[in-house]
Amino acid sequence: MPNPTKIPKTLLTVNRVRDFNISDQGACLNIQRNTFPASQSSTDFAREIRKSNSIYLVAYFEHCSDQIDRTIKLNDYLCQCKTNTKNVSGFIGGWNVADEIQIVDFIVDEPFRGRGIGQLLLTSLIEVACSVKSKLITLEVRASNKPAINLYSRFGFKICGRRKNYYVNKTEDALLMNLEIN
Ligand SMILES: CC(C)(COP(=O)(O)OP(=O)(O)OC[C@H]1O[C@@H](n2cnc3c(N)ncnc32)[C@H](O)[C@@H]1OP(=O)(O)O)[C@@H](O)C(=O)NCCC(=O)NCCS
């Protein structure tokens, strides 16, 4: 009978978040261009990370394939397993002004959506917001962007305003959403 406490020798993918560094620039630009191919502008990541009030985080995944043949908790396993790839799957960026953080970039690469990476990034940004004692997180989102609005709502963001015809083609409103941090 198989020992249920043994972790099988399978490929395990784990998602993690860390601070953006300049070597992530290419991957993040690709993700941005793939997501918004019609956009004329892209983020100047090098400039962003030089700014003292910018907060940029990246999600990356690791494939772990080592078997550890003893009873351990999953977290122990993740700490010990050897990594053979590191790849960026998404990023989130915000500006910390006074006691507010404005989210200005938030994208998960299309093939990686619907796996909780967006939640992971948002959770991480909220943790940073708490650590710098922010009172509010703000953002703008297209009124038609249901996946993003659902995600923000699940985290407690509330719609607090609307900008009419806000986007370049002037056919769509932006919703303003806020999360108060106690
Ligand atoms: C908005 C965005 C960042 C969300 O990223 P994501 O990684 O897909 O988000 P999550 O996976 O955490 O959550 C999305 C959905 O997947 C579901 N999900 C999460 N983990 C899951 C899993 N393991 N299996 C299946 N579904 C899962 C969530 O419940 C959620 O479902 P819901 O929308 O029905 O509530 C992504 O859609 C994106 O990059 N969009 C384009 C850019 C954009 O619009 N950015 C926001 C600008 S304001």
Distance 113 CA to ligand 1 centre (A): 5
Best mutation site among 15, 106, 138, 178 for ligand 1 pocket (most ligand atoms within 8 Å of CB): 106
Q: What is the pLDDT of residues 47-73, one digit of tens each?
A: 999 999 999 999 998 766 554 444 444
Closest ligand 1 atom to Cα of 90: 39
pLDDT recorded at residue 71: 42
Which residue range is the domain that position 68 belongs to?
9-134
Residue 49: alpha-carbon gap to chain centroid: 16
Q: Would you say residue 147 lies in a domain?
A: no
Residues 6 or more apart whose Cβ sits within 8 Å of residue 6: 67, 69, 70, 71
Tell me whether residue 85 is in a domain. Answer: yes
Q: Considering the domain boundaries, does residue 172 fall inside one?
A: no
Residue 142, judged by CB atoms within 10 A of its CB (0-12, 13-18, 19+), counts as: middle
Q: Which carries the bigger pLDDT value, residue 100 or residue 61?
A: 100
pLDDT of residue 84: 38
The pTM for the full model equals: 0.85
State how far the Cα of 58 lies from the Cα of 89, in Å rounded to an integer: 8
Percent pLDDT > 90 in the chain is: 70
CA atoms within 13 A on the CB side of 58: 22
Give the chain's domain count.
Answer: 1
Give 111-124 pLDDT, tens digit per residue. Answer: 999 999 999 999 99
Known catalytic residues are 140, 152
User: Which CATH number fits the domain that encloses residue 35?
Assistant: 3.40.630.30
Residue 24 lies in a domain: yes
